[in-house]
Structure 1
Amino acid sequence: MTSTLRQSRFRIEGMDCASCAAKIDTAVRRLPGISDVAVSVATGRMTVTHAPESDLAALSARVAGLGYGVEPIETRRGAPAARRPPGDHARHDHGSCGGHAHDHGHDHRHGAGHRQAHDHAVPSAAAPDRQAPDGHDHAHAPSIGRWWQSRKGLTTIACGLALAAAYGVGKLVPALDHWAFLLALAVGLVPVARRAFAAALAGTPFSIEMLMTIAAVGAVIIGATEEAAAVVFLFLVGELLEGVAATRARASIQGLADLVPKTALVAVDGRTREVPAESLAVDTIILIRPGDRVPADGVVVAGDSAIDEAPVTGESTPRRRTVGDPVFAGTVNGDAALTVRVTAAAADNTIARVVKLVEEAQESKAPTERFIDSFSRYYTPAVLVVGALVAVVPPLIAGGAWTEWIYKGLAILLIGCPCALVISTPAAIAASLAAGARRGLLMKGGAVLERLGTLTTIAFDKTGTLTEGKPKVTDIVGFGTGEQAVLALAAGLETGSNHPLARAILARAEADGVSPAPAAGLAAIAGKGLAGTVEGRAVFLGAAAAAGERAVLPPEAATRIKALNDEGKTVSVLLVDGSPAGLIAMRDEPRADAREGLERLKQAGIRTLMLTGDNSRTAEAIARVVGIEPHGELLPEDKMRIVEELKRQGERVGKVGDGINDAPALAAADVGIAMGGAADVALETADAAVLHGRVADVAALVALSRRTMANIRQNITVALGLKAVFLVTTIAGVTGLWPAILADTGATVIVTANAMRLLRPS
């Protein structure tokens, strides 16, 4: 029964491509008691779901027999296997207010509800040699660090030395030439042949190792021992290069986890002590000194400092953080000490969530990758058949020389090795996912990465997506009173309030260097505004309608209020002793890069729409500023309906929002993209996310997708093109075994190097 199943995790060394993972998967699934197997090339790990009585020692022996290092990773004892269907991501339920429909009634009873249901198997961002509290491990690199210390590295070096020695012996003692090269061949071929036969017994008879073994043995039989030894050495070199490339791709993700320091300073009774960062519990108070990396997500409880958030959000300039502000693991404290209360354990901090998402994404195959995997299953047996036909048919039908055509058939086996083809797609996708994560662009798998480049229409939410998500004071108008005086009186009334519009007024006063006027007798009038006594005068601040009930607004004020409302701004009227003294207008302003980001999408041939629940007047005002087609006063179901209508019209639709109120539309779109701060990116709601909160990053996602697909097409062309060329030249007798294996190894190197270009900034 599912409830009795257990999960065991293993670190696999020497697994460098999809064909390696497929061999391991096939072999392990054939063992008794195994329910499911998940093998990740990206992380170098295997997760096995099995019955409690399963023989894990036999499992390890089976994997080791295939030629891979295997090491169990401890998990929490007795923890049942968490069986979650593919793509069933736990969703966050965030209390949020979409739109910006404030009446400025100022009853000031705004409670901010924010709850998160984290039930992820999220890795710790701990050191590679340390086990995270939840049992997850981040040892992406092989357990042996340097390539020349790995099993494949040692075998390749031994084979190379044996081959060099054989050449020396052949020159010095020609009579021993054949036996010297046969010994050199054995040094490299025996491990390959063992893996080939182990894979065949475990259910994968048509492996790359089997092709190599048949070709090498056949070459010995027809007297080409020297070439056979050289071919095996070149094959081992090609495998080693694959391993180096795979390690580099893993290291790019490990670099994210390494942003989090290994230790933290815990503050207790005015003293500090150093503890492992992975041991920090929620609500622990920690001290972060100037220049230190932040060891955990948290909230500042004391201090004021500039934080360099570039490692996490990509922001180029440090941001001031003071009491009540969030800080994120992996960022760097600037000029002053901060005391921080931890809000997320190591297994659930920002960096750990990003790393986990990228790992899961790399394990999710794109349609192109699935096609290549399926194609390669038939391709390898077909190569064997073609090689056999080339070796047998010409001598039987046309009277060709057996030795000549067997040699050509063996060369075709080497040409047919599918290494370059199999690695062409996953290498590019892994590199792109890693490169995107480093720039704050997250995608849930190769399928999402592939779809992004095909989008023809992208619909944006307004509040918090195209705009900053918080109002700012845009206009201050005085009627016989100076603007600074109007601001000082309003700020006096709002002092101590947490209402978003109150915070906007206080922020403007601070920015302008205006001190709030001392106020007394403050009273919130529900649905209308706020009243009090300031400097001995009766002052009221509230909505225009409420102010009109208390005083006669002059035509000048009414005209100005209408004009400001037409610009999508919320207007508060200030009355002093029953007479209009001024106006304060506020609006949730567009993000600084909104217009530029939308323009980049249009240049890429993508239509853009705004779908918002805000009133049409505000939507149209913002749309004019940023240059987008507006649709206002929409309910969540209306947004979803518009997305579905666009899809029925043949459009490929992306939806960008905060992942909360837009959830139905995000789910309906071909690609849902969450936008927000690093502490809450609504990753579980959408297919992709941008951590920076920049509109231009949506265009960057599309560009990355298109670059990746172009890279994959180049890789497939190289992999198949070189094989086609050498197939013709081999049959024509121009090339032989050496060029054949060089073609395969060379194609693998070219494809891998081309994919690694995606790791560089565009």
Structure 2
Amino acid sequence: MNAPLIQTRFRVSGMDCASCAAKIDAAASRIPGIEDVTISVTAGTMSVRHTPESDLAALRKRVATMGYDVVPIEGRSHAAPQGHDTPAQDTCCGDHHHGHDHGAHSTPHDHGPAGGEHTHEGGASGLHGHDHGPTNGPWWKSGKARLTLLSGAALVAAFAVGKLMPSIEGPAYIVAMLVGLIPIARRAVMAAFNGLPFTIEMLMTIAAIGAVIIGASEEAAAVVFLFLVGELLEGVAAGRARASIQSLTALVPKTALLERDGGTREVQADNLAVGDVILVRPGDRIPADGIIISGESPIDEAPVTGESTPVRKGVDATVFAGTVNGDAALRVRVTAAAQDNTIARVVKLVEEAQESKAPTERFIDRFSRYYTPGVVVVAALVALIPPLLFGGGWDEWIYKGLAILLIGCPCALVISTPAAIAAGLSTGARRGLLMKGGAVLEGIGKITAACFDKTGTLTEGQPKVTDVIGFGRPEREVLRFAAALETGSSHPLAKAILDAADAGDIGVPPADEAKALGGKGVTAAVEGLLVFLGSPRAADERVALSPEATARITALNDEGKTVSVLIVDGQVAGAIAMRDEPRPDALKGLRALADAGIRTVMLTGDNRRTAEAIGRQLGIEVRAELLPEDKQRIVGELRSQGLVVAKVGDGINDAPALAAADVGIAMGGGTDVALETADAAVLHGRVTDVAAMVDLSKRTMGNIRQNITIALGLKAVFLVTTVIGITGLWPAILADTGATVLVTINALRLLGYRPS
């Protein structure tokens, strides 16, 4: 029996894009005993599954030769399951692998050749070259910036020397070129040794040396410098994208006020344990996920959920780390350690999601794998055929071939999709719209039908008093007597009555000799009067209801409301109607989906009368009295009709239907469910956010199309102008690095997304 695999995580500095990840993967996967490599560009981490005898020092050394700094992350290694059929349960992106397809994961070893995912087999995904040094901190302190500035200074010095001593101008530019080219060439050689011969470093090295050979040393030095500038700009842009989601972690305060032994003391928030009780003062950020055990205050949840209006919370309410306490002190019992709080898990989820490739991204990877060698062949033909067959000048056509070599680098094309996907996932997460991967983000924009659960999804999930009717007594008195009978009860209908009395500032008198009558209602003595509250049928057994009262109750029942009748001292006093009401934004959200051409259907296990009443109010097609398997069957029927179906539910009762849908969206089932169930999640439970997800998906795919057009369009223009002799090496490198920067900046526009 084989020994169990061990999983070890590393922090990798200098990684800016998916191309970096492919090169690191290619280097790491060649170490004996390394079975699987998972890389998170966003987190800057690498996770490897390996045998106990694997040489991790050799792994670090080999990756370092590619220009990246590798440091182990302590305390995170553990046994991992063998085989590729079982996804690693503690990758560098966290533990949230539930409910989504790992077939699209970017780790090359997770896929067979047919899938076209082996990006280290000479594919273009490994084309970007990056310099040493961390990408954290100010950009001008990075090794990449130092090399760029040094190369620029050498170019300026060569220019000055050439003006002062024209006889050594050529050698001066060669020296300036070598300042930047030597590190590039070294990485090119190491990449080739690791199975990536077609890298931008290799193309740059060939182009620069070729330019020197044909006497264009000044252009060679300038091209190397411009390449480094482009790479630096890309690194800055990538750092901004990384910071957009990582900045969430800064929302959690570093310290907390821990209650212990009758007093409070300040401790590090990272050291809080589940069960600890903390004090949160007015205006403070809450340092941990927890449950309020005393106090009531408005909570600003915008940092976590995007909800702009503070939510008033009291005892037993859940609070999230990073949210802001309002105007009163709260005592909170911690429910999650620092590494497991909502913000930490959102960050992990997004980091993991960015490693799950969208279908468009996988197509671009496959296209690039054949495109790059094709460009090399075309460049060689341009350089050789005119001089050999048509008497062209060797210098002229070699020069054009070298320019085409640089124009053809698919760096901008390769990064066009992951840059937009990463920005889309990040901006969604900052607004409480969590999507587990590029495939999900792309798929949501294609849905043509959305099936919603009712309770807790389209509705609030708890009944509220909708009508108070006085048949023989004033409405306030009806509510006062009813609240007296329900005091102390935890039944949802009792809570609705008590909440209504509290909202109306109604004083509730004490009740004596209270008795619950199974299946009928409750009775007690209130202010010396015998009071009964129960179902209309049970009330009719005690006192005959008038035709007027019966008609009114029937009308309320037809609206899907539950009615309780109050009898005071042998007389019908009134009735209270309750219903689980739609969320305030449900109608708006469903209309937004309808406007987008998406069919909406309610799937509920509730009784047909109640469901249809809510359905009429919201204008949604209704399927009621369903079992979980019925919901799954209906989702399958809709898909068989050619519809792309999203199922929106709480992630628990609707698990079969969520799994059967093209996209499962968890909403309204609590933080754990929202983060770990289905393909996507809406953190703050707004129906309008489902429409916002669709909108964000469509905008992201539009951004990707723009990026691909920019990348290929610029190359096509410069390819033609180079062949006919209008442009040369300088514009060629700008066509590559310039296009890469342009598509990255265009993708970053998604970080400013605002739902329409």
TM-score (normalizing by structure 1): 0.92
Tell me how large the CA RMSD over aligned residues is. 1.8
Task: Trace 1:727-742 onto structure 2 (pairs within 5 A).
Answer: 727-742=719-734
1:562 aligns with 2:587: no
1:244 aligns with 2:244: no
Paired letter, 1:36 = D
Paired letter, 1:302 = S
Residue 297 of structure 1 contacts residue 326 of structure 1 at CA under 8 Å; is this kept in 2? yes
Report the alpha carbon displacement of residue 323 of structure 1 after superposing the two structures with TM.
Answer: 2.0
Aligned residue in 1 for 2:69: 69
Report the alpha carbon displacement of residue 464 of structure 1 after superposing the two structures with TM.
Answer: 0.7
Report the alpha carbon displacement of residue 369 of structure 1 after superposing the two structures with TM.
Answer: 0.6
Report the alpha carbon displacement of residue 76 of structure 1 after superposing the two structures with TM.
Answer: 4.1
Secondary structure in structure 1 of the residue aligned to 2:322: coil
Separation (CA, whole Å) in 1 of partners of 2:136 and 2:31: 28
Aligned residue in 2 for 1:93: none
Report the alpha carbon displacement of residue 613 of structure 1 after superposing the two structures with TM.
Answer: 0.7
Separation (CA, whole Å) in 2 of partners of 1:293 and 1:377: 49
1:655 aligns with 2:647: yes
Secondary structure in structure 2 of the residue aligned to 1:71: strand
Task: Trace 1:258-337 onto structure 2 (pairs within 5 A).
Answer: 258-337=250-329
Report the alpha carbon displacement of residue 517 of structure 1 after superposing the two structures with TM.
Answer: 2.2
Residue 5 of structure 2 contacts residue 82 of structure 2 at CA under 8 Å; is this kept in 1? no
Separation (CA, whole Å) in 1 of partners of 2:76 and 2:676: 25
1:723 aligns with 2:715: yes
Secondary structure in structure 2 of the residue aligned to 1:694: coil
Residue 280 of structure 2 contacts residue 332 of structure 2 at CA under 8 Å; is this kept in 1? yes
Report the alpha carbon displacement of residue 617 of structure 1 after superposing the two structures with TM.
Answer: 0.8
Report the alpha carbon displacement of residue 87 of structure 1 after superposing the two structures with TM.
Answer: 9.4
Structure 2 gaps of 5+ residues are 99-132
1:382 aligns with 2:381: no
Residue 383 of structure 2 contacts residue 398 of structure 2 at CA under 8 Å; is this kept in 1? yes
Report the alpha carbon displacement of residue 577 of structure 1 after superposing the two structures with TM.
Answer: 2.5
Report the alpha carbon displacement of residue 520 of structure 1 after superposing the two structures with TM.
Answer: 0.6
Aligned residue in 1 for 2:12: 12
Aligned residue in 2 for 1:372: 364
Aligned residue in 2 for 1:440: 432
Separation (CA, whole Å) in 2 of partners of 1:479 and 1:471: 23
| Structure 2 counterpart of 1:154, from 137, 146, 160 | 146
Task: Trace 1:183-582 onto structure 2 (pairs within 5 A).
Answer: 183-582=175-574
Separation (CA, whole Å) in 1 of partners of 2:602 and 2:147: 60
Report the alpha carbon displacement of residue 375 of structure 1 after superposing the two structures with TM.
Answer: 1.5
Paired letter, 2:506 = V
Report the alpha carbon displacement of residue 528 of structure 1 after superposing the two structures with TM.
Answer: 1.4
Report the alpha carbon displacement of residue 261 of structure 1 after superposing the two structures with TM.
Answer: 1.0
Report the alpha carbon displacement of residue 372 of structure 1 after superposing the two structures with TM.
Answer: 1.0
Report the alpha carbon displacement of residue 392 of structure 1 after superposing the two structures with TM.
Answer: 0.6
Residue 15 of structure 2 contacts residue 135 of structure 2 at CA under 8 Å; is this kept in 1? no
Residue 350 of structure 1 contacts residue 678 of structure 1 at CA under 8 Å; is this kept in 2? no
Secondary structure in structure 1 of the residue aligned to 2:36: strand
Separation (CA, whole Å) in 2 of partners of 1:420 and 1:319: 44
Separation (CA, whole Å) in 2 of partners of 1:2 and 1:290: 57
Secondary structure in structure 1 of the residue aligned to 2:616: helix
Residue 677 of structure 1 contacts residue 692 of structure 1 at CA under 8 Å; is this kept in 2? no
Aligned residue in 1 for 2:50: 50
Secondary structure in structure 1 of the residue aligned to 2:523: strand
Separation (CA, whole Å) in 1 of partners of 2:559 and 2:96: 44
Residue 602 of structure 2 contacts residue 615 of structure 2 at CA under 8 Å; is this kept in 1? yes
Q: Deviation string for 1:414-462 (max 9, x for gaps)?
A: 1011111111000000000000001110000000000111111111111
Aligned residue in 2 for 1:81: 80
Residue 568 of structure 1 contacts residue 622 of structure 1 at CA under 8 Å; is this kept in 2? yes
Separation (CA, whole Å) in 2 of partners of 1:201 and 1:497: 73
Report the alpha carbon displacement of residue 269 of structure 1 after superposing the two structures with TM.
Answer: 2.4
Stretch of structure 1 that moved more, 265-274 or 215-224: 265-274
Report the alpha carbon displacement of residue 75 of structure 1 after superposing the two structures with TM.
Answer: 2.4
Change (3 A) 1:27 1:270: same
Separation (CA, whole Å) in 1 of partners of 2:489 and 2:29: 62
Paired letter, 2:399 = Y
Secondary structure in structure 2 of the residue aligned to 1:80: strand
Residue 4 of structure 2 contacts residue 81 of structure 2 at CA under 8 Å; is this kept in 1? no
Report the alpha carbon displacement of residue 193 of structure 1 after superposing the two structures with TM.
Answer: 0.3
Report the alpha carbon displacement of residue 253 of structure 1 after superposing the two structures with TM.
Answer: 1.0
Secondary structure in structure 1 of the residue aligned to 2:675: coil
Change (3 A) 1:83 1:292: farther
Report the alpha carbon displacement of residue 707 of structure 1 after superposing the two structures with TM.
Answer: 0.3
Change (3 A) 1:121 1:372: closer
Aligned residue in 2 for 1:644: 636
Paired letter, 2:517 = I
1:620 aligns with 2:620: no
Paired letter, 1:81 = A
Paired letter, 2:280 = I
Identity value in percent: 70
Secondary structure in structure 2 of the residue aligned to 1:206: coil
Report the alpha carbon displacement of residue 680 of structure 1 after superposing the two structures with TM.
Answer: 3.9
Paired letter, 2:518 = A
| Structure 1 counterpart of 2:593, from 591, 594, 601 | 601
Q: Deviation string for 1:571-628 (max 9, x for gaps)?
A: 0111123332111000011111111111111111111111111111111111111111
Change (3 A) 1:144 1:628: closer
Separation (CA, whole Å) in 1 of partners of 2:519 and 2:248: 48
Separation (CA, whole Å) in 2 of partners of 1:677 and 1:636: 16
Aligned residue in 2 for 1:98: none
Separation (CA, whole Å) in 1 of partners of 2:83 and 2:95: 11
Separation (CA, whole Å) in 2 of partners of 1:120 and 1:761: 26
1:744 aligns with 2:744: no
Separation (CA, whole Å) in 2 of partners of 1:288 and 1:2: 51
Aligned residue in 2 for 1:107: none
Paired letter, 1:80 = A
Change (3 A) 1:89 1:39: closer
Paired letter, 1:362 = Q
Residue 3 of structure 1 contacts residue 80 of structure 1 at CA under 8 Å; is this kept in 2? no
Change (3 A) 1:386 1:438: same
Report the alpha carbon displacement of residue 541 of structure 1 after superposing the two structures with TM.
Answer: 0.9
